Amino acid sequence: MAIDKTLVTRSTSMLLLKLLQTEDMYGYQMIEELARRSDDTFSLKAGTLYPLLHSLQEEGVIEVYEKTAESGRLRKYYRLTKEGHRMLEVKEAEWYDYSTAVNKVLSGGVSLATV
């Protein structure tokens, strides 16, 4: 399914934060997990992911550390900071309001919850 790119870009940072909510992940793992959870709807490119991760790191919502993986490789893992958890809550609430409003318009002004 093709999705409007602007919509995807706006929500990508929220999706990345959501991925990190439960588990610290490395870059490739995040792309794989995002594709898996979205049934391949979101296939993020590395060229998009790393600048976005760097921006989130500068904002202080995620932080990076290195850890030796089971394979013996030293990997860079990303984790959510306290500020990141707060930002995710805000973004989720915003997204919920937005999607509810869109759904309401699409359903002709009737809230889906009451249908």
Chain residues binding another protein by CB under 8 A are: 26-29, 32, 45-48, 50-52, 54-55, 57-58, 60, 63-68, 73-77, 81
CB of 48 to another protein, least distance (A): 7
Q: How far is the CB of 77 from another protein (least distance, A)?
A: 8
Residue number, 23 or 94, with CB nearest to another protein: 23
What's at 27, amino acid-wise?
G
Residue placing its CB nearer to another protein in the complex, 49 or 104: 49
Q: Calculate the CA 23 to chain-centre distance.
A: 13
Task: List the alpha helices (DSSP H) in 23-81.
Answer: 27-37, 46-59
d(CA 100, CA 2): 21
